[in-house]
Chains A and B, each alone.
Chain A
C-alpha cells in the first residue's frame, strides 16, 4: 500500500535521509524506532509530503505523492492537488497542534467540513461519534486549553480519523505527555490497530511496539538498519547498532 523507494532528504548540507526503502501493506502496523536525529520523524513527514523528498519517491496505492509521472520525469503537483492527496492520510503530531480557538468538536469537524462531501449535520454526527470513540463524549464543547495533554492528543487522533484516511501516521504521539497520561493515548492507538487500520508509528514506547506492531523498523543515521517482527527485532537484534540502542532504552 505504502511504498517508499530510495527516499533522500537534505536540510542544507545535512543529509537526514540517505536512501530509505520501506513498504507497508494494508492493515499493517509498523513501528519505527531509533535514536533522536536518526530521521524517523522526517521519514514520516515525507510520507504525507509535509517535507518534499530530494530524491526517490513515495507512493500510496500506486499514486505518487506530490508528483505526477510523465515518462521519465516527475512533475511537481500544485498545492491544491497535494492537499487533496493528504486527505487520505491522517497525521498525529507530537505536540497535538489542535486549533486552540475551536472546541474539541469543531476541531474534529473542521477537515470534513472543508472537504464539503457531506452535510453539516452528517459531519457533526460523525464528529460526535469519533469523540465518543476516543472516550471524550463529555468534552465536545471544551477548548483544547481546558483539556489535559492526554485528552488533547485523543482529540487530535479523532481529528485525524475524521476524513476516513487509508493510512494513519503518528509522530511520537506520547512524547509530550506526562507519564501517567501515556497509557490512555496508547490504548486508543491500540484499539485502532486492532480494527485493521494501516499505520506507521514513530515512538519510544518499546512495550507498545512489542504489543501492537506487526513489524518494527529500526532507523539510525538516515537509513533503515534492520526490520522484522517485534519478537525477532526486540529480543534478537542482529545489527550491533540496534543492540546498542535497545540496551539503552530497555
Chain B
C-alpha cells in the first residue's frame, strides 16, 4: 500500500508531525476471562475452608501456637539449619575436591557422592540411629593396635546428633553437585584472567569464581534448603520431636487428624515463605554486575506506584 493511494482527507496533519501519532496498546481480553475463572475457583475454595466443619478451625487455633508445637517448630528449624550449614560446608569441600587436579581427591569426592546419593535418606537415618548397635565403642589410637581414648557410642551419638549427622551427610552429596554445577558454569576466561594475574588459587575461588557461580547455585540451593526443611519430617521415624512428629503425637491422642495436619502445614508454608523471600534478596545481591541495572524490588515497585497514584490524586 502506498501513501499516495490513500485519500488525503483521511490523513490528518499528523503526517507532517509523526511524533503526534497516538499509540493504542494491544488488548488482552482473555486475560480478564482467566482472572474471572480463577477468582471464582478461589472464592469456592475459601468458602469451603470457612463453612466445612471438617477443617475444625477451633482445634487448629488451639494448637497452632501451643507450646509443644512451637518447640517442635524450633527443632525443625534447628535440624534444617544444621543440615544446611554442615551439608553445604562439606558440599563445598567435596565440590572443590572433585574439581581439583588431584585424581586422588577426585575419586574420594566422586565415591562419597555416589554412596550418599545411592542410599535412601530414611535408611541412612535409621543406620545412624542404630550405630551404637554396630559399633559399641569408638577408639582413637594406632590402627589395629592399642587405643588411647575410648568413647561409648551411645554417649557420643544421641538421636538428635544422629539425625543431624544423617541429614548433613546426605545433604552434602547433593550440595557438592550443586556447587560444582555452579563453578563449571563460570566462563573459563575468568579463571585464565585470574591465573594470568597471579591470584592465588583459594582467592581465585573465593573472590572470582564463587560470586559468579552463586548466580546459578542459589536457585538450586534454595530448592535444597526448602526440601530439607520439609524433609526433616523424615526424622519422625527416629521419634525426634520435630513438627510433623509432634503433630502425629497430638492427633494420635485426640484424633483431630485434619486440624493438626493443617497446623503443621501452615507452619511449613510460613517458614518456606520466609525462605523464598530471603532467596529473592540474596539472589538480587549476587546479580550485581550480571545485569546492567537491577530491576526494582516488589517493595520499591509498590512505593513507585503509590507515588504515581498520589501525584494523580493531587492533580
Contacts and interface: CB of A to CB of B under 8 A. Distances in A.
Decide if A and B are genuine partners: yes
Interface of A: 48, 50, 79-80, 83-87, 89, 91, 93, 95, 97-103, 110-111, 114-115, 143-146, 159-160, 163
Contacts of B195: 50, 83, 86
A100 B192 contact: no
Most chain A beta-carbon contacts within 10 A, residue among B187, B192, B289: B289
Contacts, number: 78
A101 B197 contact: no
A90 to B, nearest CB: 8
Interface stretch (B12-20, B90-98, B151-159, B198-206): B198-206
A50 B207 CA distance: 20
Contact of B198 (A101, A102, A103, A163): A163
Chain B interface secondary structure, helix, strand, loop or mixed?
helix
A224 B267 CA distance: 72
B209 to A, nearest CB: 10
B303 interface: no
B203 A91 contact: no
A80 B192 contact: no
B288 A83 contact: no
Contact of A114 (B192, B200, B211): B200
A10 B212 CA distance: 32
A208 B107 CA distance: 51
Given A83-B198, A83-B201, A115-B198, A101 B192 contact: no
A102 B4 CA distance: 56
Given A102-B289, A145-B291, A146-B292, A97 B198 contact: no
Contact of B196 (A48, A79, A102, A144): A48
A83 to B, nearest CB: 4
B190 interface: yes
A110 B290 contact: no
Contact of B289 (A85, A93, A114, A144): A144
A85 B208 CA distance: 20
Nearest to A145: B292
Given A111-B197, A111-B198, A114-B199, A97 B192 contact: yes
B198 A86 contact: yes
Contact of B197 (A79, A80, A103, A110): A110
A80 B193 contact: no
Given A111-B199, A145-B289, 18 more contacts: A50-B192, A50-B195, A50-B196, A86-B195, A91-B193, A93-B196, A95-B189, A99-B212, A103-B289, A110-B197, A110-B199, A110-B207, A111-B198, A114-B207, A143-B289, A145-B290, A145-B291, A163-B197
Interface string B178-222: 000000000101101111111111010001100110000000000
Given A114-B203, A163-B198, A97 B193 contact: yes
B198 A93 contact: no
Ranked 6 nearest A-B pairs via Cβ: A87-B198, A97-B193, A111-B197, A91-B196, A86-B198, A101-B289
A79 B289 contact: no
B190 A99 contact: yes
Given A110-B199, A114-B199, A99 B189 contact: no
8 contacts: A50-B196, A80-B200, A86-B195, A93-B196, A100-B212, A111-B199, A114-B200, A146-B292
A170 B193 CA distance: 13
B314 to A, nearest CB: 35
A100 B290 CA distance: 6
A47 B203 CA distance: 23
B39 to A, nearest CB: 41
Contacts of B193: 91, 93, 97-99
Contact of A101 (B194, B211, B292): B211
Contacts of A87: 197-198
B105 to A, nearest CB: 14
A13 B199 CA distance: 32
A114 B193 CA distance: 14
Contacts of B288: 101, 143
A87 B193 CA distance: 12
A97 B190 CA distance: 6
Nearest to A80: B200
Contacts of A163: 197-198
Nearest to B214: A101
A159 B195 CA distance: 13
B212 A101 contact: yes
A80 B195 CA distance: 10
Nearest to A99: B208
Contacts of B198: 83-87, 111, 114-115, 163
Contacts of B197: 86-87, 91, 110-111, 114, 159-160, 163
Given A97-B189, A143-B288, A86 B196 contact: yes
Given A79-B201, A83-B201, A93-B189, A100 B196 contact: no
A87 B195 CA distance: 9
Nearest to B208: A99
Nearest to A112: B197
A101 B189 contact: no
Contacts of B187: 97
